[in-house]
Amino acid sequence: MFIKSCVLWIIASFAAFCFAGDGVGTKAEQVKPEFEARQIDLLTRVFPDRSPDERIYTEPIHVPRGAKACFQFVVKSDMPVSCSFILDAIRGRRGQTLLVEPHVYRVLTIHVEGNSQGCMKTYPSSACSPERFASYIVRKAPFDMAEVLEETETLDLKAGVYHSVLIEIPVTDSARPDEYEGTLQFKAGSNSTVVPFKFIVHKTKIAGYSLDSNHWLWSTPSNLALGVNCKYYSEQHWQLIEHAGRLLKDYGNNYIMTPLVGSMPNQGLDVPLVQTYVTGYRKYEFDFSRFERWCNLFFSLGYNKIEGAHVSAGGPLLVNAIDKKANKEIVLFKSSSDVQEYFAFLDVFFQELHKVLQKNRWTTRYVQHLMDEPAANKVDEYLALNHVFRNAMPGVDNIEAILNKVYLPYVDIPALHIQLMDEKQGLISPIIKNGNSIWFYQSCNPVPPYANRWLDLDLSNNRLYPWLAYLLNADGYLFWAANGYRGADPYTSSIGPLPSGSQNPGHPVGDNWLFYPGPDGLRGSMRAVAFRDGLVDHTLLKMLQKKNPKSADTIMKVIAKSVTDFERRPHIYHESRKKILSEIENH
């Protein structure tokens, strides 16, 4: 009996072993790394730990010639693996190939350590965020989010993490109107997934954008690239400046903020673009060679206007000068310096600057800031400063970000805060009717229910802003800091530092920057991509307005009835773009 039992046990064990052998094969197939790649909406935020929403708008997107077609994809593997991208030829329905050079980006994640709470009161703690903001934020902090564009052909996938990939397709003027289809193939180990995308190129063509815009560039070397320690205005610095200029132009800038002789407090501009030499009491000489190089560079990149930086911070700026007699560097005009002495200096500087502008025929291609957001109690000082400027630089316009209507009569190109612009439409209507330009802006204000471009708000807010320009009859848009890191690492901390460097509290998340430093220079962002699409929408709206203003206004109201009643859902923007192009071409 015992022997029989042993024999049966051996036979059963052998059978089990054989069965298990087959099972191992089955199990191996079952544990093959799971892999997911799909297209998602361009205006969808991607969080590494959450599956993004499915697209609502699944039709081909609509693009005029002269614009760019962008598509976002999400990819995930349950095991760490290297993933490569293969972008196949993009072909129309008639079989023709779209002859362009697309760009493929992996979208790097950044960290958001606290939710936005407003100007100078955003803390790295969600507990401080006002409850009234809760329905507007995309997620309660802390969280990570895909934001920064890095051009690449591969992506290292982390296990179980959602990664964002973006492709950007230039639609040239010569592109044949048609419906086009392409595929982006993802290859990761033994997995391969092909994801199609479609877009319709219209016969409508845009040549630039109808909305002037300027995201102020902070041109210090440390604000232009990661880990760079080059000398001011060395060839390496100039290369970084040129790279930044190309990037900002690609995302819609046609004005460029330009440093001059002084530095705004705590902005770290240690070496002025225009070098000042002191030759005696109230006697100064200036070297404009770097200024002229700067202007020639940005004009060659396609910029329309040079925007001279502020010459007052509510008082004299710091001016790093060279005393010719003593042959040493000195600092002129500390904050406690006599204002009249400083104005005497500016009178000489403006006269010499005006000569340079005249020599190069730039007087109508240059605009001058005097004082940023002049306070209500600075009217007398502003008027005195404006008097110096007008006498020394005839024919040159000034431009100013203003929070107070009292300054409107003294500024050629007023840039009103969005709330002031909204409240004072009646006041600015005569200015618009006279053909004068009016801009608008936002910064760490306004707070919800107004839109802003913070990281913890809907990505569609960025596309919305050019629509708000149309709603408010603005000709231009200004943003105070394309890359104002103030020493912060924007990849690991999103709260924008104050002039003191404080991030506890600081400005709302992402408020100090819309572009990010890379080892080779500035990089774009998902917010910048969305804003550029908004510029295309605005340009098309203005084209339709000339043909059928009622139709343009009707479509406008689908997106924004007011500055606090606006559309947040991505698919409505795609449908509105389609409608605008259809209306243009039907008329």
Q: Has residue 83 got a pLDDT over 60?
A: yes
Q: Determine the Cα–Cα distance for residues 527 and 113; give it in Å rounded to an integer.
A: 18
Query: 339-357 pLDDT, tens per residue?
Result: 889 999 999 999 999 999 9
Are 141 and 115 within 8 A, CB to CB?
yes
Are 38 and 73 within 8 A, CB to CB?
yes
Task: Give φ, ψ of 262 to 5 degrees.
Answer: -125, 175
Q: Determine the Cα–Cα distance for residues 550 and 543; give it in Å rounded to an integer.
A: 12
Q: Determine the Cα–Cα distance for residues 578 and 347; give it in Å rounded to an integer.
A: 53
Q: Determine the Cα–Cα distance for residues 450 and 562; give it in Å rounded to an integer.
A: 9
Q: Determine the Cα–Cα distance for residues 488 and 340; give it in Å rounded to an integer.
A: 36
Neighbours of 151 (CB within 10 A): 13
Interacting residues of 100 by C-beta distance below 8 A, sequence separation 6+? 90, 169, 170, 171, 172, 175
Query: 532-565 pLDDT, tens per residue?
Result: 999 999 999 999 999 999 999 999 999 999 999 9
Dihedral angle, C-alpha 260, 266, 269, 271, nearest 10 °: 100
Q: What is the pLDDT at residue 365?
A: 98
Q: Has residue 207 got a pLDDT over 70?
A: yes
HSE, CB side, 13 Å, CA atoms: give it for residue 459. 22
Long-range contacts of 543-547 (CB under 8 A, 24+ apart): 543/204, 543/206, 543/210, 543/584, 544/580, 544/583, 544/584, 544/587, 547/583, 547/584, 547/587
Query: 168-187 pLDDT, tens per residue?
Result: 999 999 999 999 999 999 99
CA dihedral over 14, 18, 23, 24, signed as positive or negative: positive
Backbone conformation region of residue 160, classed left if phi is above 0, alpha if psi is from -120 to 50, else beta: left
Element (H, E) at 468: helix 460-471
- Higher per-residue pLDDT: 4 or 579: 579
Nearest partner of 498 among 190, 166, 63, 123, judged by Cα: 123
Q: Determine the Cα–Cα distance for residues 321 and 272; give it in Å rounded to an integer.
A: 9
In angstroms, what CA-CA distances link 4 with 9, 18, 438? 9, 21, 100
Query: 22-35 pLDDT, tens per residue?
Result: 444 444 344 556 99
Q: What is the pLDDT at residue 19?
A: 38
Query: 106-136 pLDDT, tens per residue?
Result: 999 999 999 999 999 999 987 777 788 999 9
Q: What is the pLDDT at residue 258?
A: 96
Give residue limits of the domains in the chain. Answer: 35-107+143-205
> Using CB atoms within 10 A of its CB, is residue 430 exposed (0-12), middle (13-18) or buried (19+)?
exposed
Q: Has residue 156 got a pLDDT over 90?
A: yes
> Across residues 297-308, what is the average pLDDT?
98
3-state secondary structure of 136: coil
Instruction: Quote the distance between the C-alpha of residue 84 and its chain's center.
Output: 27
Q: Determine the Cα–Cα distance for residues 142 and 125; give it in Å rounded to an integer.
A: 8
What class has domain 35-107+143-205?
A: mainly beta
Dihedral angle, C-alpha 446, 449, 450, 454, nearest 10 °: 70
Q: Determine the Cα–Cα distance for residues 477 and 463; give it in Å rounded to an integer.
A: 13
Task: Give φ, ψ of 217 to 5 degrees.
Answer: -85, 130
Interacting residues of 272 by C-beta distance below 8 A, sequence separation 6+? 259, 260, 261, 262, 263, 319, 320
What amino acid occupies position 521? G
Q: Determine the Cα–Cα distance for residues 532 and 538; give it in Å rounded to an integer.
A: 10
Q: Has residue 4 got a pLDDT over 50?
A: no
Angle, CA 575 vertex, CA 573 and CA 577 arms, to 5°: 70
Q: Determine the Cα–Cα distance for residues 219 and 520; give it in Å rounded to an integer.
A: 14
